[in-house]
Structure 1
């Protein structure tokens, strides 16, 4: 008899939406295996990993730090105001990242999996059993980024403008979680969405 693949959940939302709070809750109380696409992408940019040589070849030695690793701040400076370079880097990193992410997800046989990303797509949606959108207002996201990461208001707004719009997230989601209130209210919504799911229990 073929082994049934565990429940695969997609969690989408923009920068500063508070996805880490939901991921921590899912991992601790529902025993989800957590995959964050941004962390996977960072790993693939390390020396010897799949995207390293291609990105260095594209951007040149100026993208490297003293230790030979890719300086992410330098890379961000190179591509932030140059759409052509940004698209070229994305064309390298995105396919490699999603390949690694899905391989990790499908290798997990005994627990549910949640994949978090700020890059929603129909292709990703079609791979998931369900997708949730964590909605937080731009005002609250800006405040959180300024407080938690030390970003300026200008930088916070610029990053948000470069990401998918609210409606794009909503169009792909099976459920929307409002994260503008307290953490307890957010957790209540998660509990309601998972209540009665086969093989998924709160502990």
Structure 2
């Protein structure tokens, strides 16, 4: 099954979701390399951190040493998302580019909704309001049990950010929320077992993305 451009002349928007350590960055890079080889113009971005404003927000929500109230955290992500979609994503799609993005509103629903135990519907509605209803054409959910994901993070020997450092119960709730989101929107999501070899995953992702001239 392929995912064609939604409208003639409009670009394609692919987001990668999943818990920390599942391999989103690796797969986004492999997809970018393949698409560029197909002659497509690719904009690679992430949330938070895809704009100058986003870099500031990222530092606050992921590296601030003190506590951040859960609702304040959710609002910071939504503010970054509003700016990011308006200044990066929509202009790229209008040019006919492919946008490959690490995390979008599904991460907020999973992390702030399930992880922080806020109302998931309110979190989703907040992001949809902030972005004027923008949704990706395809969302790749890389699914991996939290213990395996944590082992990958430990192997990297990098300091954990605020979310990575949360307890296993938090990450279990996040994983369950991601799977529930995918089940509710099967036309947008593809769920892949992230324990499989990277090359196999990349091939599956390519099979869902239709290159256009």
Residues 101-120 of structure 1: matches in 2 within 5 Å?
101-109=88-96, 111-117=97-103, 119-120=105-106
Q: CA deviation at 1:88?
A: 4.7
1:160 matched to which residue of 2?
171
**Residues 14-43 of structure 1: CA distance to partner in whole angstroms, max 9, x if unpaired?**
2222111111111111123322122226x3
**Rg larger in structure:** 1
TM-score (norm 1): 0.65
TM-score (norm 2): 0.62
2:23 matched to which residue of 1?
18
Per the alignment, do residues 25 and 161 of structure 1 end up closer, same or farther by CA in structure 2, a change over 3 Å counting?
Answer: same
Per the alignment, do residues 198 and 89 of structure 1 end up closer, same or farther by CA in structure 2, a change over 3 Å counting?
Answer: closer
1:5 matched to which residue of 2?
10
The unaligned stretches of length 5 or more in structure 1 are 47-51, 56-69
Q: Is the Cα–Cα contact under 8 Å of residues 119 and 163 in structure 1 kept in the other structure?
A: no
The unaligned stretches of length 5 or more in structure 2 are 1-6, 37-41, 107-123
In 2: Cα distance, 1:157 partner to 1:179 partner:
21
Which of 16, 19, 33 is the matching residue for 1:28? Answer: 33
Root mean square deviation of aligned Cα? 3.7
